[in-house]
A = this chain, B = another copy of it.
Amino acid sequence: MTRKLWGGRFKKATDPLVERYTSSITVDACLARYDVQGSIAHATMLGRCRIISRADSRKLVRGLTRILRSIQQGRFAPNPRAEDIHTQIQQTLERRIGPVAKKLHTARSRNDQVALDLRLYCRDAAAYLTDDLRGAQRALVHLASRYARAVMPGYTHLQHAQPVLLAHHLLAYVEMFERDIERLRDAHIRIDVLPLGSGALAGTSLPIDRAFVAKLLKFPRVSRNSMDAVSDRDFALELCSALAIVGMHLSRLAEDFILWNSVEFGILELDDAFATGSSLMPQKKNPDVLELIRGQAGLVIGHLTALLTMMKGLPLSYNRDLQWDKRCVCESIEMTHDALIVLARLVQRSTIRTSQLTALLHDDALCATDLAEYLVERGVPFAQAHTIVGQVVVAAERQGIPLKQLGLAQLKRFSTAFDRRALAVLDPRASVARKRSVGSTNPTMVAQALVNWQKKLKRG
């Protein structure tokens, strides 16, 4: 039996099976450094408020600082037999500085302690995930800039819709990641609240100074209700939810790239260093990285569902069900971090096959909408123009040729409004250039967007 922070009330030792089952060490090891940071602030405050002596406070801080260094240097391995990471750190401290270590537990409960640790972790993650998203944006802008003038078929329903700039397509993802960053920023504000000092649920009668601890740990706000503070995991849910949306965005980008990388689309070539082979089929060069990113979205969505389900219907205040929160939160954070970093590099090193883009644009039905608008300009009502061009498309399809090859004579059979300039309309590059609405695929506007993003994403 390992040592515990409680026991006087118990007549029997805990069943070893229970010890193993309730141990959270594999789950909460990710909190180690944050636990120590929180304890340093707490110990400092206890001394300053004379709840313990200044000397004891200094001893605690010194001991904790050494542990923090071990953790940062990767020399602090979680002990699989410890009850949890907090207990392990406490015991390490006791071994190092003796019984004074026990004073750290003054005016603090594990309920507010673990709430603090998880907030510190989430706050940190929100920051580095933002960097990761910026990295992914940079890679996309970089790829878009390399092929700034490339035109490709734009898709709706995975069908050729209208010509667009490849850069426009890629910048759509830059916009998504920008919203993800905004969501992380908003989540950060609600993460950034100090729960420590809430005790087990009711607060404490000791003269602690929560504002001082908040200042030490750089929290702009202090929680206002102790029962809420120890049982609140909204901040974790909000982060998980933001990451589920990041995951969804990543899965869409992965899907696009997997499609482009197929023989049939043939638009994108992965760098060999970012593809994998088959143990059986010698010709295979598989987009495994992209598939793993796409699939990973499922796991992150599952974790969000799990955390919501776990909390649903729990009475106030703290309940042990919450121990599992870390399994959802930590894995979602780590997986998203990994995926964003590997994705950024993969995007950076990908090649677009512009010749294949040109080949795909031979399907000039992509410009059918332009042809209809051309008729509208010549006075044909839109609905009628739509019908006429629909029939033109079917005619070309039947003959197995592009619209252009129908020639003016055939076009005139469908409407006398067609004249010489009709055929010029059927040029994808011209189609793109004609667009003029804000946010459209117009090349000047897209070029400007690229410049704006490059400026914004320049590293300080």
Partner of A439, one of B222, B303, B373: B222
A363–B388 alpha-carbon span in the complex (Å)? 38
Beta-carbon contact of B297 and A309 below 8 Å: yes
A65 on interface, CB distance cutoff 8 Å: no
Beta-carbon contact of B22 and A228 below 8 Å: no
Instruction: Tell me whether A159 and B285 are in contact in the complex, defined as CB-CB below 8 angstroms, given that A175-B224, A273-B18 are known contacts.
Output: yes
Within 301-320 of A, Cβ neighbours of B (below 8 Å) are at 301-320
Closest B residue, CB atoms, query A436: B205
Q: Collect the chain B residues with CB atoms within 8 Å of residue A280's CB.
A: 108-111, 199-200, 369, 386
A283–B4 alpha-carbon span in the complex (Å)? 15
- Given A203-B441, A227-B441, A252-B315, 10 further pairs, Cβ under 8 A: A103-B381, A154-B202, A183-B190, A200-B369, A206-B373, A207-B436, A226-B439, A241-B241, A255-B313, A295-B324
Beta-carbon contact of A6 and B386 below 8 Å: yes
A159–B394 alpha-carbon span in the complex (Å)? 31
Beta-carbon contact of B15 and A345 below 8 Å: yes
Instruction: Tell me whether A8 and B324 are in contact in the complex, defined as CB-CB below 8 angstroms, given that A154-B227, A176-B232, A338-B21 are known contacts.
Output: no
Q: How many residues of A contact B (CB 8 A)?
A: 192
Q: Collect the chain B residues with CB atoms within 8 Å of residue A210's CB.
A: 437-439
Beta-carbon contact of B440 and A202 below 8 Å: yes
Q: Collect the chain B residues with CB atoms within 8 Å of residue A304's CB.
A: 241, 302, 304-305, 308
| Interchain nearest-CB distance for A434 vs B (Å) | 4
Beta-carbon contact of B6 and A252 below 8 Å: no
A39 on interface, CB distance cutoff 8 Å: no
Q: Collect the chain B residues with CB atoms within 8 Å of residue A88's CB.
A: none
Beta-carbon contact of A244 and B308 below 8 Å: yes
A124 on interface, CB distance cutoff 8 Å: no
Closest B residue, CB atoms, query A381: B102
| Interchain nearest-CB distance for A174 vs B (Å) | 8
A234 on interface, CB distance cutoff 8 Å: yes
| Binary contact track A7-44/B, C-beta < 8 Å → 1, others 0 | 11111111101101110000000000000000000000
Name which of A72-80, A115-123, A125-133, A260-268 contacts chain B.
A260-268
Closest B residue, CB atoms, query A83: B276
Closest B residue, CB atoms, query A240: B241
